[in-house]
Structure 1
Amino acid sequence: MSLKPLHDRVIVKRKEGETKTAGGLYIPDSAKEKPQAGTVVAAGPECETVKKGDSILFAKYAGSEFKMDGDDLVIMREDDILGVFA
């Protein structure tokens, strides 16, 4: 199944969170924070600053989470994106 975002919406796949601290301790799933970085999977036709494949940083509580084809994805407005990694 495919999903095409409308207007200025962007679909993002979050990067994997850290599983171990710098000191070597493993972080349980219940204590992990969700990463604020990800990769753009699809961008709507009105998006001007990002395109498919860009690595981005976005606001902590941005967008709506959903699951599609076994992947955890986030759909958000282009305004929720804080920056693009160069």
Structure 2
Amino acid sequence: MTDVLAGILPESVLATHWFMILSSFVAINTVMYVALAVAKILPKLYPRDWLPRTYTRAETRSIYPDTPEGEQARREATRPRHERTD
């Protein structure tokens, strides 16, 4: 990079302390923006989906009756957000 800037800026400016601090800031800023862009591309993770579910009730408190249709509706309502089709 200094070879490219050597034609634009004099070497006395490139060797100064403030220019090294400025170039370090620009480098760190670039790395942070790349990391944020990669994080936005990746799908959202739900750590709660990896943990076992230990909270089950002894009896049903659902508005759906204990029928096959009610069981299907209950399963749909308790699926994780990223797996729902609605």
**Structure number with larger C-alpha Rg:** 2
Q: Please, what TM-score do these two structures have when normalized by structure 1?
A: 0.19
Structure in which a larger fraction of residues adopt helix: 2
Greater RCO structure (CA 8 Å; 6+ sep)? 1
